[in-house]
Chains A and B, each alone.
Chain A
Amino acid sequence: MASTTDHSSPMNRKRSATARSIDNGFVWGTAAVAIAVGLLLVAIALRVGTDALPAIQKFGLGFLVSNRWSVIDGAFGALTQIYGTLVTSFIALLIAVPIGVGVAIFLSEDFLPPRIKQPIVFLVELLAAIPSVVYGLWGIFVLIPFLRPVGIWLNANLGWIPLFSTAPAGPGIYAAGLVLAIMILPIIAAISRDAMVAVPAELRQAAYGLGATRWETIFQILLPAGFSGIAGGVMLALGRAMGETMAVTMLIGNSNTIDSFSILSQGSTVSSLLANQFAEAGGLQVSALMYAALVLFGLTLVVNVLAEIVVRRFSLKL
């Protein structure tokens, strides 16, 4: 068109060379950052892998099924820690998922006027901003003393269930799991709420228009439609719970052996093990710790891949 070269026109339709190069530069810049992040991940995995190599050669896969962690004998196995990591995370999810999704439902519906709802949304998200050492202190000074009688009662009355088969000793797996639940609650609540709010209003209207009640609409339409988002949030939270170090180290008791399935007993997780031992470790122990770190890395990776599969498999096309 002639007008594109018409300099008397008040519109400038040509893109200047700088505008073009900024555009191109932006594309390359973002690509470079993305690749750098990927490389960083690979570099970390490689470094941890090479450092772990001596332990991998010495213990092989037996590392995963041995619960003996003895610096003196130079015998290392991470079963206790793997078990602790999985159990604390599982307890956390068991508590945090129903509550978090419940909070998300409550805050995504119009039960409350916006003036009251907004501050609550903010407060829930603020839970995520509390440093984990503060959670640890709170657990030591408030939660553990508070739960002590509960633990004693459970052991006395339900002690025949393996889960409660030991007397509570202050810190323990249950305390770590509970505090983890509180720590991941805001992640689940916030992401699930976003997922619920993002469900198109037309679906809600369609359900109401057919004579569905509010609960039928929530449970049969809105939750399934928001499922992939909610599942994504839960998996993110699980990743956080498995890797959380400070609060867990302060609360779990850091025992390197398991002799029962009791959640009232003390235990350790992979990350608490690393935090406890790394500073004074040497030789094969360092390598064993690196191997444990690699295992944690692998566990988180498996969880994330599973999450991706679950989300793909069940996500509903909108």
Chain B
Amino acid sequence: MTSRLQSARQTDSVFHTEDLNIYYGNFLAVRDLSIDIAKNSITAFIGPSGCGKSTVLRCFNRLNDLIKSFHIKGKIYYHDQDLYASEIDPVEVRRQVGMVFQKPNPFPKSIYDNIAFGPRLLGYKGDMDELVEQSLKQAALWDDVKDKLKAFGTDLSGGQQQRLCIARAVAVQPDVILMDEPCSALDPISTLKVEDLLQELKEKYTIMIVTHNMQQASRASDYTAFFNVEANSKGQRTGYVVEYDRTEVIFQSPKEQATQAYVSGRFG
């Protein structure tokens, strides 16, 4: 099948949204989102709980499609293709836009099979052993597990599991990797490992990361979007982007008072 997704990737912006409004049923979860995601960069989403960061992130790989009440108004472009056009197959989108979740979720299979799952789906014909090794190395997990690839992924420590999930996402060589609070269950050392990893990964991939850790956003990202949430007249708490800029700007000289308050910890 020749999908429109496979056409050339020319532009510097990977994603581009126009007046995006995201709904769960009648509930407007996020409004008026117009944002550009630069290629080979790390973009951080920060903001208080419930402001719709995860909701936005999961729009980019169409994972929200699994939720019946979910729908959008407005447009999301992926390399100039309308991501929600009827001829786009969400499964193909997810093969190019990988995801790492907040809670480590390795499959109850061996470490090897966890990594090989995605490539097998895509009919990978190359040397699987090598791909597994490469992916584990990229996720800084190879030294921990190289002697026990047959062991269950679910038997690893939390931090190792999360790196396994990152390796699993990397193994299919996606175009973009979405990460929803990938370090929230990790200790500081594992967190730093993952952050180092991000810097390496961005050479090849475009990364979008949700985080509640201000230091992580300021250390690890190139761009930062600050989300906030406001109740409207009907009492619906709708999220929106207050400010979106280079990370230094957001953290050192934000234009909005609310951003300043949030990044310096004087929020609410």
Contact = CB atoms under 8 A, between A and B. Distances in A.
A158 to B, nearest CB: 40
A225 interface: yes
Contacts of B172: 210-211
Instruction: For chain A, give the interface size range.
Output: 20 to 34
Given A110-B68, A216-B121, A317-B152, A209 B98 contact: yes
A203 interface: yes
A210 B108 contact: no
A210 B169 contact: yes
A224 B108 contact: yes
Given A200-B105, A317-B108, A210 B63 contact: no
A157 interface: no
B107 A203 contact: yes
B94 A209 contact: yes
14 contacts: A203-B107, A205-B105, A209-B63, A210-B95, A210-B98, A210-B118, A210-B169, A211-B91, A211-B96, A213-B91, A216-B121, A316-B108, A318-B108, A318-B154
Given A208-B94, A211-B121, A216-B121, A202 B108 contact: no
Interface in B62-111: 63, 66, 68, 91-92, 94-96, 98-99, 101, 103, 105-109
Interface of A: 110, 200, 202-213, 216, 220-221, 224-225, 316-318
The 3 lowest CB-CB distance pairs between A and B, nearest first, are A211-B95, A316-B108, A202-B105
Contact of A211 (B66, B105, B108, B122): B122
A207 B101 CA distance: 12
B168 interface: yes
A203 B66 CA distance: 13
Given A200-B105, A203-B105, A221-B107, A209 B68 contact: no
B200 interface: no
Interface bin, chain B: 20 to 34
Contacts of B168: 206, 210
B248 interface: no
Nearest to A317: B154
Contact of A205 (B66, B92, B96, B118): B66
B108 A212 contact: no
B121 A212 contact: yes
Interface string B157-174: 000000001001100100
Nearest to B113: A220
B55 to A, nearest CB: 14
Given A202-B105, A211-B91, A211-B94, 20 more contacts: A202-B101, A205-B105, A206-B105, A206-B106, A208-B63, A208-B66, A208-B94, A209-B63, A209-B101, A210-B95, A210-B121, A210-B168, A210-B169, A211-B121, A211-B122, A225-B107, A225-B108, A316-B108, A317-B152, A318-B154
